[in-house]
Structure 1
């Protein structure tokens, strides 16, 4: 029998391929942080439900985006890139808030979940996540994921079976694989 010298090379090459179960490098920690931010959406929606406030908070969004622009250079990020990314995060969060509010309107009541104060509890968590998100976005930009859009789509499909949550993740990552 004749040896096939290319077989070990082929096996080595295949080890470098990303399979569905493998982490996508710097993408995974960024997606984890994005999800932690999305996890706060229902608590924010409950606060707004109880106080009969609109989901849209233009002045607050402007403050967040200005803060992100100021912090971007500390993370070696272009301020426009950081702002676009955070705009996507806020839109995804609002998508979940609108969905929750619609569900509660349909049921004519909100869940009996313990409420959290927006200013004292939720915003400080969001502020901490802002720094983490900028850090992870910078790592992604410094170490781009090959075939990023494909890897991202596959990874998002594996993260949740909830269609609304999936849509929020898609919205939060809409510009992630574009040119940094």
Structure 2
């Protein structure tokens, strides 16, 4: 139909086709159902960093705990094998969660040092309360990761992740932590 038209109408047809194609290109496939639970669990783990920071503030212990981090990563590697996941990928995933948590802890301690005090909140016991909670969250995190893993190479992964992440960010510091926690989740080919 457009081929029999004069130049102005032909230009209109070409322009309409270009607009239609670009509109279709902007449509992203919906995210898999497994993404939201994964990002929510990562965010839950990250929010526990606030309680860890309070405990470390009170005990004046350093945030860096290499021995504990090695234990957590070793446990994740064992869980990966039982879930038929790549232990190296799972170790990287958990290392990213730990780094994200430390980022939040360092940020909170800096805020509290500047203020001269930490918030007046209940103080959890790191060993008896917080670490068991982190261990339980890690099990759920690995289950959610196993369900999402087939989608890591999808071309839409980064866009899905950005939207899922933005819905959970409560402040700048935790937002940066969540970006770190999810930073290597999508594999770009």
Deviations 1:160-179 (A, max 9, x none): 25121111111001110127
> How many residues are paired up?
163
TM-score norm. by structure 2 comes to 0.80
> Residue 132 of structure 1 aligns to a residue in which SS?
helix
Q: 2: CA distance between counterparts of 1:134 and 1:99?
A: 26
Q: 1: CA distance between counterparts of 2:165 and 2:35?
A: 11
| Residue correspondence of structure 1 range 15-34 to structure 2 within 5 A | 24-34=32-42
Q: Point out 4+ residue stretches in structure 1 off by more than 6 angstroms.
A: none
Question: Shift in Å at residue 23 of structure 1?
Answer: 5.8
Does residue 173 of structure 2 align to residue 170 of structure 1?
Answer: no
Structure 2 counterpart of 1:67: 75
Question: Shift in Å at residue 128 of structure 1?
Answer: 0.4
Note the residue ranges of structure 1 that are not aligned, 5 or more in a row. 1-13
Q: 1: CA distance between counterparts of 2:42 and 2:174?
A: 12
Structure 1 counterpart of 2:90: 82
Question: Shift in Å at residue 158 of structure 1?
Answer: 2.9
* Alpha-carbon RMSD: 2.0
Does residue 125 of structure 2 align to residue 112 of structure 1?
Answer: no
Q: 2: CA distance between counterparts of 1:41 and 1:165?
A: 9
1:156 equivalent among 154, 165, 176: 165
Q: 2: CA distance between counterparts of 1:139 and 1:92?
A: 22
TM-score norm. by structure 1 comes to 0.84
* Structure number, greater radius of gyration: 2
Structure 2 counterpart of 1:103: 111
Q: 2: CA distance between counterparts of 1:68 and 1:158?
A: 27
Note the residue ranges of structure 2 that are not aligned, 5 or more in a row. 1-23
